[in-house]
Structure 1
Amino acid sequence: MARQLDEQIAGRFPVGQRLRVLDVGMGQGTQALRLARAGHTVTGLESDPEMLKAAREVLAAEPAGIRERFRAIEGDGRDTGVHFLPGSFDVVLCHGVLMYVEDRDAMLAGLARMLAPGGLLSLLVRNADALAMRPGLAGDWSEALTAFDTDAYTNRLGLPVRADRLTDLTATLAGIAAPLRAWYGVRVFTDNVPNEAELPAADALERLLAAEDRAGRTDPYRSVAALLHLCGVRG
């Protein structure tokens, strides 16, 4: 995922340009902090007070220069117009958030307005066209059969949420003047690995990441990934 995002940023902006980044629903700030460490100015927007507290605690341990480039504020991705002026950012991230949003298209339109011309919108969503894969590979045939006919599922936090389809999001991005420029699959081979599983040794981990990256760019593998990473560019 990070490799894909870095690739898209490198393809859109001059080398060394310090970008203005908005991370909507930043969680504990992992991705936002990584970009701040790379020299970009980052604003993290998070509605969960506990997540926001955790992000601020991690940020407090960073060097002063990184802390100065990173602003973490409490807010909802559906209200970006309240916090920021249109065109305020070069890159807007919305990773693992849309599944919780009822009016997806309205929120995406608001995020697109935050982008300067040529800006990059990066989305990470659950793949509704592959919902049967996780239960099917786990041998839960009843759940797999149900998943073919729905975009609703229960996530690993036990919450009822919605998955999204590539065709639907492609149409939405075109309609909000941030048409899809690239898309990837994420978690093609590793979706059923438990969150608490230990990482393999460094050489095995590198091969795993290389295989996932290759599959995430290659048809038909990317189409059955658990997650989709979509990149749109503001016209």
Structure 2
Amino acid sequence: MGGVPGQRGASREASPTELWLRTLGGVAGAVRQVLVARQLDERLAAAFPAGRRLRVLDVGTGQGTQALRLARAGHEVTGMESDPEMLTTVRAVLAAEAPQVRERVRLLEAESTRTGAHFTPNSFDVVLCHGVLMHVEEPDAVLAGLARVLAAGGLLSLLVRNADALALRPGLDGDWDTALAAFDSPLTRDSAGRTVRADRLGRLTQTLGGIGAPLAAWYGVRVFTDRYPAHAAPPRAEEFDRILDVEDRAGRTDPYRRVAALLHLCGVRG
């Protein structure tokens, strides 16, 4: 048990980062990572020749799930992360990887708004920005910076909260005040209790077109499983596979994907 130095028996309150990391093994966290990986691989196969080694920038690397997965596949990955606590986590995970994987990963402590200060234009074939825009008050400048460092024909992958569906889950739970407020405000709370912002598909589609990386495909993520408790562990493999099959199908099918908790948008640089 951790405690505050000098205060025997006192427990330290978990940080928002620690609270968020604890949810990664839950159903919702597992569904998110598996579906995003499937969808990302699909778009990479559509955009690039098989076997090409890609230059990848992961803005808001978090615990490094997608960054490390791509490094294991042979790609060169640069991870930008502004949270020192999260960087410590991903470095510990990276240390356990094979030497050839570690050599393909570079980690940088930096804000998502500072891509222009660290990288020249056309530096990357793929830019990931997953779970970052929800912490940014005005995303357009961040997106323009991401497009600037993306090479022609490159893929921009965004994972955002879905503002068009914010009222659905509190409404289904009978939380009428929260549901009513969700119609008028893009603000909500994440699993760590932080106030975060959601984005609308129509607005992001316009923005991607305006920065020269028009939308090529989009998916819904967590249509059904977002109502699971944050720490609910995934069921046995056979049942979890069925959950993934249903979520994968729903995330590609209207009208279901439009009410997903998260949206995965993929733009291609012209």
- Do structure 1's residue 158 and structure 2's residue 193 form an aligned pair? yes
Show the counterpart of 2:86.
51
Give 1:196's aligned amino acid: H
Show the counterpart of 2:244.
209
Show the counterpart of 2:220.
185
Q: CA RMSD in A?
A: 0.8
1:151-203 deviation per Cα after TM superposition (whole angstroms, max 9, x unaligned)? 11122221122110000000100000000010000000100112211111111
Please say which of residues 134-143 and 115-124 is displaced more in the overlay: 134-143
SS at match of 1:191: helix
SS at match of 2:225: coil
Show the counterpart of 2:123.
88
Among candidates 10, 15, 20, match of residue 55 of structure 2: 20
SS at match of 1:164: coil
Show the counterpart of 1:221.
256
TM-score normalised per structure 2: 0.86
Show the counterpart of 1:3.
38
1:13-162 pair list within 5 angstroms: 13-162=48-197
Alpha-carbon offset, residue 229 of structure 1: 0.3
- Separation in structure 2 between the aligned mates of residue 43 and residue 153 of structure 1, nearest angstrom: 30
Larger radius of gyration: 2
- Separation in structure 1 between the aligned mates of residue 215 and residue 71 of structure 2, nearest angstrom: 25
Give 2:148's aligned amino acid: R
In the TM superposition, structure 1's runs of 4+ consecutive aligned residues that sit over 3 Å from their partners are none
**Mind listing any 5+ residue stretches in structure 2 that lack a counterpart?**
1-35
- Separation in structure 1 between the aligned mates of residue 71 and residue 230 of structure 2, nearest angstrom: 26
Alpha-carbon offset, residue 139 of structure 1: 2.1
SS at match of 1:7: helix
Alpha-carbon offset, residue 19 of structure 1: 0.6
- Separation in structure 2 between the aligned mates of residue 159 and residue 5 of structure 1, nearest angstrom: 27
Q: Please tell me whether the aligned partners of residues 163 and 200 of structure 2 are also in contact (alpha carbons under 8 angstroms).
A: yes
- Separation in structure 1 between the aligned mates of residue 112 and residue 86 of structure 2, nearest angstrom: 15
Q: Please tell me whether the aligned partners of residues 59 and 130 of structure 2 are also in contact (alpha carbons under 8 angstroms).
A: yes
- Separation in structure 1 between the aligned mates of residue 136 and residue 184 of structure 2, nearest angstrom: 20
Show the counterpart of 2:229.
194
**Mind listing any 5+ residue stretches in structure 1 that lack a counterpart?**
none
Q: Please tell me whether the aligned partners of residues 191 and 230 of structure 2 are also in contact (alpha carbons under 8 angstroms).
A: no
Give 1:225's aligned amino acid: A
TM-score normalised per structure 1: 0.98
1:82-107 deviation per Cα after TM superposition (whole angstroms, max 9, x unaligned)? 11111110000000000111221000
SS at match of 1:102: coil
- Separation in structure 2 between the aligned mates of residue 206 and residue 156 of structure 1, nearest angstrom: 24
Give 1:96's aligned amino acid: G
